[in-house]
Amino acid sequence: MKINNLDLFVEDLGNKNGEVIVFLNGVMASTNSWYQIIKPFVELGYRIILHDFKGQLKSDKPRGPYTFEEHSNETIEILKKLDIKQAHFVGTSYGGEVALNIGFRHPEVVKSLTIIDSVSETNKEMIDEINLWIDLSEKKDGYAFFWGMAKSIYGPTFMKENMAFLETRAQATKHVDPSYLEGQIILYKTFKDDVYMTDQLHKIKAPTLVICGKDDILKPPKFSKIIKDEIKDSKLVLLEDCGHVAIFEKSEEIIELTKEWIAKN
């Protein structure tokens, strides 16, 4: 879809007359990262909208820097082109941070928010880890990149029990087009420079479910608590034995929590 002279990869799935849910990707991911999660929502008759942000795998990767305001506005432009007036928004990590921006920049569009392993501010440890990802990306070795960042995003139990799955993902990253890592660098810098929004969260009026893995060392639960404390109509759920990528590590729990939250709101 052409949005502001950019080609953004968009998927429009499910019942075209159904209630709309927009799922927003984590920074390293593409729309296919949601396929396991969205299946029961499609079966329930929802309309599902997915897209790759600019800089991500299947969308254009213009020179940076980007801003979260741009990402949120581009998401709204997609919905306008599809004649969608309101939606529920579900975002993980970077996608959750875009969803929060949509929440206070475009409140009229938002029925509910589900924010998974996201933050509204950073600390030194988080920035140090993102700087490591930038260094890994600049070396243009997809395989080393994947394993270099894996320890900070997957929980220890998940890594121990799913090494074959992780190796498959590492091999896929090994063969990805070099432009993928170039886009990642811009997105990481966007996160570092522009993610702060704690002082804007009080403007969010939509019911907001905040979910975080208890073992998330990249974006620890204390940051989810900040989000919960700043949004009046919100609820915090912490997932046991779960790292940063809850949509893979605890997919069934994410599905059930999200289904209940959306049905309630």
Q: pLDDT digit string (tens) for 137-148?
A: 999 999 999 999
Q: What residue segments make up the domains of the chain, in order of their start?
A: 2-122+196-264
User: Would you state the pLDDT for residue 178?
Assistant: 93
Tell me the pLDDT tens digit for each residue of 247-263.
999 999 999 999 999 99
User: Would you state the pLDDT for residue 148?
Assistant: 96
- Binned at pLDDT 50, 70 and 90, residue 2 comes out as very high
Q: How far apart are CA 205 and CA 226, in angstroms?
A: 16
Q: Return the percentage of the chain with pLDDT > 70, whole number.
A: 100
- CATH code reported for the domain at 2-122+196-264: 3.40.50.1820
Please state the rounded mean pLDDT for residues 65-78: 98
Per the CB < 8 A criterion, the answer to whether 59 and 86 are in contact is: no
- Binned at pLDDT 50, 70 and 90, residue 233 comes out as very high
Sheet hosting strand 234-239, strand order edge to edge: 10-14, 47-51, 20-24, 87-92, 110-116, 208-213, 234-239
Half-sphere exposure (CA, 13 Å, Cβ side) for 39?
A: 7
- Binned at pLDDT 50, 70 and 90, residue 113 comes out as very high
Closest alpha carbon to 53 in 70, 34, 32 = 70
Eight-class DSSP state of 235: E
Q: How far apart are CA 60 and CA 229, in angstroms?
A: 36
- pTM higher than 0.95, yes or no? yes
Tell me the pLDDT tens digit for each residue of 78-110.
999 999 999 999 999 999 999 999 999 999 999
